[in-house]
Amino acid sequence: MLILALDTATPASTAGVAEVTGTDPHVHGLAERRTVDARAHGELLAPQIHATLEEAGVRPRDLAAIVAGVGPGPYTGLRVGLATAASMGQALGIPTYGVCSLDGLGRAAGPGRVLVATDARRREIYYATYVDGRRMSGPEVAKPFSFAGQADRAVGEGAVRYSDILGVPIDEHVLYPPGAALIALAADRILGKADGEVLTPLYLRRPDAVEPAARKTVLP
Partner 1 sequence: MPDEPLVLGIETSCDETGVGIVRGHTLLADALASSVEQHARFGGVVPEVASRAHLEAIVPTMRRALDEAKVTLADIDAIAVTAGPGLAGALLVGVAAAKGYALATDKPIYGVNHLAAHVAVDTLEHGPLPEPAIAMLVSGGHSSLLLVDDVTAGVTPLGATIDDAAGEAFDKVARLLGLGFPGGPAIDRLAREGDGAAIPFPRGLTAAKDLAAHRYDFSFSGLKTAVARWVEARQREGTTIPVADVAASFQEAVCDVLTAKAIEACRAHGVDTLVIGGGVAANSRLRALASLRAEKNGIRVRVPRPQLCTDNGAMVAALGSHLVAAGVAPSRLDLPVDSAMPLTVVTA
Interface with partner 1 (CB under 8 A): 42-47, 49-50, 60-61, 75-76, 79-88, 90-92, 198, 201, 203, 207-212, 215, 217-219
Secondary structure of residue 177 in the 3-state scheme: coil
Give me the least distance between CB of 168 and partner 1, in Å please.
Answer: 33
Burial class (CB in 10 A: 0-12, 13-18, 19+), 215: exposed
Angle between helices 75-92 and 41-56 (to 10 degrees): 40
Distances (CA, A) of 162 to 72, 89, 131: 18, 37, 21
In the complex with partner 1, the residue whose CB is nearer, 164 or 195, is 195
In the complex with partner 1, the residue whose CB is nearer, 188 or 197, is 197
3-class SS shares of the chain: helix, strand, coil, % to 5: 30, 30, 40
In the complex with partner 1, the residue whose CB is nearer, 108 or 199, is 199
Give me the least distance between CB of 142 and partner 1, in Å please.
Answer: 20
Give me the least distance between CB of 192 and partner 1, in Å please.
Answer: 23
Give me the least distance between CB of 5 and partner 1, in Å please.
Answer: 14
